Amino acid sequence: MSRKLSGRLVIATHNPGKLTEMQELLAPYGIEAVSAGALNLPEPEETGTTFRANARIKAEAAAKAAGLPAFADDSGLVVDALDGAPGIFSARWGGPQKDFVMAMGEVDAQLTACGAVTPAQRTARFVSALCLAWPDGHLEEFEGVVEGQVVSPPRGTHGFGYDACFLPDGYDQTFGEMPSQVKHSMPPLGLGLSHRARAFRLLSQACLDN
């Protein structure tokens, strides 16, 4: 049986973009959220081979260190023509400086190098795995996926990471062109379109909604 969440929560991320999105998602539920960075919690080594495993590593480490429930996300861009890359290594493609302009350029260069130049050859998906961990070891895990394609050149200045090069199926705007309210907020305020919003909808139904 799913466990309901209330009170204070650690958002187990040091990524300001993810922190903002998670805070926006949690805001309607009256959850007091504090980031792992604000608590000076160390970043655990992400040794998992899946998004779900890495989200679990981060959530469990934060819950244990803070003695509070912790909420972690692991997400990335999965490109079919690149055999699933960058995948769980999406952040690492940005290098130590987290330069995602460079990372998006590398995705485009590798797609071009393997002859993937048409939209049908550039299919991809964003995947988000969310994990809620409690200090006693209880876990709740959820996953959201958005199908789309990689576009070049990148478009838009909203969001972060690979948002500007990802065009979701059925839309004419990249994630980088969509305002955060449209992409992340749940209906009726927004579309709840992003991979993280889709995973969060499952989490909220299990652990937050009355």
pLDDT at residue number 111: 98
In this predicted structure, which of 2-11, 175-184, 186-195 has the lowest mean pLDDT?
186-195
- DSSP secondary structure of 64-115: HHHTS-EEEEEEEEEEGGGTT-BGGGTTGGGTTTT-HHHHHHHHHHHHHHTT
Q: Is the pLDDT of residue 186 over 70?
A: no
Q: What is the mean pLDDT of the chain?
A: 91
Q: Is the pLDDT at 85 greater than 80, yes or no?
A: yes
d(CA 25, CA 199): 11
What's the pLDDT at 15? 79
Catalytic positions are 74
Arithmetic mean of pLDDT, 78-97: 96
Give me the percent of the chain exceeding a pLDDT of 70.
96
- What is the predicted pLDDT for the residue at 30? 83
Give the residue-averaged pLDDT of 135-162: 95
Q: Give the pLDDT band of residue 190 (cuts 50, 70, 90).
A: low
pLDDT-derived band of residue 185, with 50, 70 and 90 as boundaries? Answer: low
Q: Is the per-residue pLDDT at 11 higher than 60?
A: yes
Give dist(CA 143, CA 123) in Å, integer: 19
Decide which of 194 and 129 is more confident.
129
Give pLDDT, residue 188: 55
Domains and CATH numbers, the chain: 8-207 (3.90.950.10)
Q: What is the pLDDT of residue 193?
A: 85
- Residue 121 is predicted with a pLDDT of 98
Average confidence (pLDDT) over 125-154: 96
pLDDT band at residue 8, thresholds of 50, 70 and 90?
A: confident
> Tokens at residue 95, please?
């290098």
Q: What Cα–Cα distance (Å) separates residue 17 from each residue in 88, 122, 159, 194?
A: 17, 25, 7, 14
> What letter would DSSP give residue 143?
E
Which of 73-87, 140-154, 172-186 is the least confident region? 172-186
Is the pLDDT reported for residue 12 higher than 60? yes
Average pLDDT over residues 180-199: 76
